[in-house]
Chains A and B, each alone.
Chain A
Amino acid sequence: MSASPQALAGIGVVEFGSYAAGPHIGKMLANFGATVIHVESFARPDGFRMQYPPYKDRKPGINGGGCFAYFNDSKLGITLDLKNREGRALARRLCRWGDIVIENMRPGVIDRLGLGFDTLKADHPGLIMLSTCNMGQTGPRADTPGFGSQLTALAGICGLTGERGGPPTVLYGPYIDFIASTLGAVAVLAALEQRRRTGTGAYIDISQYEAGLLFLAGPLLEYHLTGRIAERVGNDDPDAAPHGAYRCESDGWIALSCWSDEEFAALAAAIGRPEWSRDARFNTLAGRKGAAAAIDERICAWTRERGAAAAAAILQRAGVHAHPVNTMADLFTDPQLIARRHWRRRRHPVIGDHAYCGPAFQLSETPGEVSAAAPLLGADNDKVFRQCLGLSEPEYAAMREAGAFG
């Protein structure tokens, strides 16, 4: 932990969330010092705990899931049975304690549990609440259940991935959920600023579909203006040539691109074809696109004799855009990610030492941190209910007796 208080120190967040879309917001806030409480129950643990590998020793277990851990570091984990009257009463008290409530249930469910924004706001006028789901809280298809992996197709992103004339291509995992969670974090932080200045909270409705469309805002505007329908074009780009991925030695790949005639001349010199920069076939963008096959063949001949990292270093020194295509394993040895401490290893009671993802940005005065490994199911009940909510011993025991903790 840093010596200076973190940017979000003192902010309390309550998550009635599971899988990716809700909990990833809380993770980002927790990495900058917010106290984030992830609410589950023993009857209904977060689906990421058991339904998705990898697991410690490849054995599914409620506390040994790497997928759950990855999105829930630096949080406190508690259980509450939201179908139990006392459980719901405690949930409501917890929301009075918190500054921000995040939920990603189907629309209407949180209201039926008696934890809707209007109810909670009556207790806590400054409350900020964010709901996130596939389609948003309103509209003719608001009640659509859905997985982010498939929603990425509805939002046009899968259709824009793949070779020209080939089928659409899968993007790994619930791609669009992370667009929505990232934009969701922007919204709750903006709401905090509003509350600081005015004392007023906010209710934020995020449609994961709409959030994803912001990443295609250009092609969507282009369609509205001209009727042009963007298509998948492999790795091509209208403004660069060459622009693609090339095989290197040992099954590696390198991505490289040239955005000007000068950059192409630098590439040509680096790969042993300096005469190309004087060749009329190659010294314009249109010319290079027309002669792509010949250029690609020569680049491939050069890259195949080199490791991707070595080739990228040579090209970068020459002033050419280039980088190895990192595999998942490469991400843990990439010198840049290591230098910036992207991976933070923490000891998890069941999984053992393993890597968590640090923030994508560094704050010079109040740095982010992975303050703890992900919690075991219900690990922080004692701390949260006694310290945060101030339950007395008899109260705590009575709640347990009543089944409030699921």
Chain B
Amino acid sequence: MLKGILVLDCTGRPGWLAGRLLADLSAEVTKIENPDAEIHTSDWRAYNVNKRLTRLDLGSSAGQRELDRLAASADMLLATFTPGTREAVLFQHGRLSAINPRLIVVAITPFGLTGPKADWIASDLELMAASGAMSLAGEPGGTPLRVSAPQSHGWAGAQAAIGALAALAARSRTGRGQCVDVSAQAATLVALAHAPTFVDVDGTTPTRAGAFMTGRSVEGARFRVFWPCRDGFVNFILYGGVAGRRTNTQLAGWMRECGAPLGALAQIDFAEWDPTLATQGQVDALEAPIAAFFSSITKRQFLEETHRREMLGYPVSTVADIAGDPQLSARGFWQDVAAANGEVERHCGCFAIVDGERPPLVSRNDAQVEAPRAAQVT
């Protein structure tokens, strides 16, 4: 969909996803890296596949001249930097627009180009803290947690791609590019759902609840979310409402078929049961036989049976479980791409299917030569 759009990607880790998303939708993305930059990590390869690599020493005047030459004919330039540094001057919109007034300059910084923390430094950890995400993850009263794989980079990169394309829409009318000033802090705030609005609308401050769900019962009962199973954990919640009723009834039926003891579940009429009125004692009594049953099944059994019975709930996957999920292979999600060293790498494919087809990834990492189109794995 973005065929012919030329993108110069001068980002570090926090911005890589932006260029990858644009490349996946057929933009021609050139990844600029310093001559000594490490490009063999899994993260680098995963987020820079589908881009063309060019090595440039942006610390040298020759490198800067080459950057300016490339910027003169590009549609977009993506960059990550700390405001106030020498690099920031290089990527200044005013400087670049004098070279190419149509250029859209996307600046991805931890806190944005303006404001009292514009020159603060932050890695994923500090961004997950600054956005509020860490305050919502972890045990109640315990250490706030980030996700063990960086997430703020994804949030920032994705918002940067939206900004770049919104600016492209504006350019189609005005003929001029502009500066897209992305704050990674603000981008990561999107991850919080509507949690902030509690403060504003009813004066409460949502916080972390570990492996449980709270705030649903007026009696203060907490409901288990993660349950040990034979080979890991599953995510299951005793919900109310129409969906919960079906799920709970189906679970009791499944347990009965397996000969599992039903305990308190045998007496309950889920058509009448209301979790908002449940006490902790009632919840514990219902959850005990479920815990025993789940401990006897595998994640894959849980996935297949919940699907078959149209129940709510999913296993807690590892990357290995995800790699073997038939749903993903049926949709051609995995794409095999030839790497520069000749090896085949299996990547996450484009995030969207467009007009019935997943736009294929293209191997471009071997310098300037475009490799054959990637085979779709089925």
The chain A residues found within 8 Å of chain B, CB to CB, are 5-8, 11, 20, 28, 32, 51-56, 58, 66-67, 69-71, 135-141, 144-147, 150-151, 153-163, 167-175, 177-179, 182-187, 189-194, 196-197, 202-207, 209-211, 213-225, 229-237, 240, 243-245, 253-257, 259, 316, 319-332, 334-337, 339-340, 342, 351, 354-355, 357-366
A337 & B312 in contact (Cβ 8 Å cutoff): no
**B181 to nearest A CB, angstroms?**
4
B165 & A340 in contact (Cβ 8 Å cutoff): no
B137 & A217 in contact (Cβ 8 Å cutoff): no
A186 & B165 in contact (Cβ 8 Å cutoff): yes
Task: Write 17 A-B pairs (CB below 8 A) sorted by A numbering.
Answer: A7-B167, A69-B197, A151-B314, A154-B235, A170-B208, A173-B195, A175-B191, A193-B172, A217-B347, A219-B42, A230-B148, A255-B129, A326-B132, A328-B132, A336-B111, A339-B116, A351-B201
Q: Which of A156, A214, A244, A326 contacts B135 (CB 8 A)?
A: A326
Please, which residues of chain A bring their CB within 8 A of the CB of B137? Answer: 161, 169-172
**B378 to nearest A CB, angstroms?**
11
**A343 to nearest B CB, angstroms?**
8
Complex CA gap A55/B201 in Å reads 7
B158 & A186 in contact (Cβ 8 Å cutoff): yes
- In the complex with contacts A150-B235, A174-B193, A365-B170, A336-B117 CB distance below 8 A: yes
Q: CB-defined interface of B228-272 with A at 8 Å, one 1/0 digit per residue?
A: 100011111100010100000000000000000000000000000
Of the listed residues A174, A185, A221, the one surrounded by the most CB atoms of chain B closer than 10 A to its CB is A221
Complex CA gap A163/B226 in Å reads 14
A153's nearest neighbour on chain B, judged by CB, is: B235
Please, which residues of chain A bring their CB within 8 A of the CB of B182? Answer: 360-361
Q: Does B323 contact A (CB under 8 A)?
A: yes
B161 & A186 in contact (Cβ 8 Å cutoff): yes
Complex CA gap A334/B202 in Å reads 20
B316 & A214 in contact (Cβ 8 Å cutoff): no
B120 & A316 in contact (Cβ 8 Å cutoff): yes
Complex CA gap A179/B22 in Å reads 16
Q: Which of A69, A170, A211, A319 contacts B225 (CB 8 A)?
A: A170
Of the listed residues B161, B303, B331, the one surrounded by the most CB atoms of chain A closer than 10 A to its CB is B331
Of the listed residues B4, B114, B200, B234, the one surrounded by the most CB atoms of chain A closer than 10 A to its CB is B200
Please, which residues of chain A bring their CB within 8 A of the CB of B36? Answer: none
Q: Do most interface residues of chain A lie in helix, strand or loop, or is the interface mixed?
A: mixed
B356 & A161 in contact (Cβ 8 Å cutoff): no
B169 & A192 in contact (Cβ 8 Å cutoff): yes
Q: Which of A170, A256, A327 contacts B212 (CB 8 A)?
A: A170
Complex CA gap A191/B359 in Å reads 13
B180 & A360 in contact (Cβ 8 Å cutoff): no
Please, which residues of chain A bring their CB within 8 A of the CB of B333? Answer: 207, 210, 213
- In the complex with contacts A321-B121, A340-B115, A361-B182, A153-B316 CB distance below 8 A: yes
Given contacts A160-B149, A222-B42, A253-B135, 5 further A-B contacts (CB under 8 A): A153-B314, A154-B315, A157-B151, A169-B137, A255-B128
Q: CB-defined interface of B158-187 with A at 8 Å, one 1/0 digit per residue?
A: 111111011111101110101111110111
Complex CA gap A145/B308 in Å reads 11
Complex CA gap A190/B162 in Å reads 9
B5 & A159 in contact (Cβ 8 Å cutoff): no
The chain B residues found within 8 Å of chain A, CB to CB, are 1-5, 17, 20-22, 25, 41-43, 45-47, 93, 111-112, 114-118, 120-138, 143-149, 151, 154-156, 158-163, 165-170, 172-174, 176, 178-183, 185-187, 189-202, 204-213, 215, 225-226, 228, 232-237, 241, 243, 303, 307, 310, 312-323, 326-328, 330-331, 333, 345-349, 351-356
B201 & A168 in contact (Cβ 8 Å cutoff): no
Q: Do most interface residues of chain B lie in helix, strand or loop, or is the interface mixed?
A: mixed
B163 & A340 in contact (Cβ 8 Å cutoff): no
Complex CA gap A173/B213 in Å reads 10
B149 & A219 in contact (Cβ 8 Å cutoff): yes
- In the complex with contacts A53-B198, A210-B333, A222-B42, A161-B145 CB distance below 8 A: yes
B125 & A339 in contact (Cβ 8 Å cutoff): no
B125 & A354 in contact (Cβ 8 Å cutoff): no
B123 & A257 in contact (Cβ 8 Å cutoff): yes
B189 & A360 in contact (Cβ 8 Å cutoff): yes
A154 & B314 in contact (Cβ 8 Å cutoff): yes
B311's nearest neighbour on chain A, judged by CB, is: A145
B327 & A327 in contact (Cβ 8 Å cutoff): no
A159 & B117 in contact (Cβ 8 Å cutoff): no
Of the listed residues A55, A183, A222, the one surrounded by the most CB atoms of chain B closer than 10 A to its CB is A183
Q: Which of A67, A159, A334 contacts B130 (CB 8 A)?
A: A334
- In the complex with contacts A323-B122, A326-B130, A336-B117, A229-B193 CB distance below 8 A: no
Please, which residues of chain A bring their CB within 8 A of the CB of B318? Answer: 156, 159, 229-230
- In the complex with contacts A139-B330, A328-B205, A361-B187, A186-B42 CB distance below 8 A: no
- In the complex with contacts A185-B162, A220-B323, A145-B312 CB distance below 8 A: yes
A357 & B189 in contact (Cβ 8 Å cutoff): yes
Please, which residues of chain A bring their CB within 8 A of the CB of B185? Answer: 336-337
- In the complex with contacts A158-B226, A229-B319, A340-B173 CB distance below 8 A: no
Of the listed residues B208, B352, B353, the one surrounded by the most CB atoms of chain A closer than 10 A to its CB is B352
B327 & A209 in contact (Cβ 8 Å cutoff): yes
A326 & B129 in contact (Cβ 8 Å cutoff): yes
**B186 to nearest A CB, angstroms?**
4
**A50 to nearest B CB, angstroms?**
11
Complex CA gap A327/B195 in Å reads 10
Please, which residues of chain B bring their CB within 8 A of the CB of A357? Answer: 189-190, 196
**A321 to nearest B CB, angstroms?**
5
Complex CA gap A136/B212 in Å reads 28
B181 & A214 in contact (Cβ 8 Å cutoff): no
B43 & A66 in contact (Cβ 8 Å cutoff): no
**B317 to nearest A CB, angstroms?**
5
Complex CA gap A222/B346 in Å reads 9
A355's nearest neighbour on chain B, judged by CB, is: B200
B166 & A327 in contact (Cβ 8 Å cutoff): no
**A225 to nearest B CB, angstroms?**
6
A335's nearest neighbour on chain B, judged by CB, is: B116
Please, which residues of chain B bring their CB within 8 A of the CB of A331? Answer: 132, 189, 196, 199
Complex CA gap A55/B226 in Å reads 28
Q: Which of B169, B194, B307 contacts A52 (CB 8 A)?
A: B194
Q: Which of A162, A328, A339 contacts B115 (CB 8 A)?
A: A339
B169 & A8 in contact (Cβ 8 Å cutoff): yes
A210 & B347 in contact (Cβ 8 Å cutoff): no
Please, which residues of chain B bring their CB within 8 A of the CB of A5? Answer: 173
B204 & A159 in contact (Cβ 8 Å cutoff): no
**A16 to nearest B CB, angstroms?**
19
Please, which residues of chain B bring their CB within 8 A of the CB of A214? Answer: 17, 20-21, 154, 348, 351
A366 & B43 in contact (Cβ 8 Å cutoff): no
Q: Which 3 A-B pairs have the closest CB atoms?
A: A173-B193, A255-B129, A189-B165
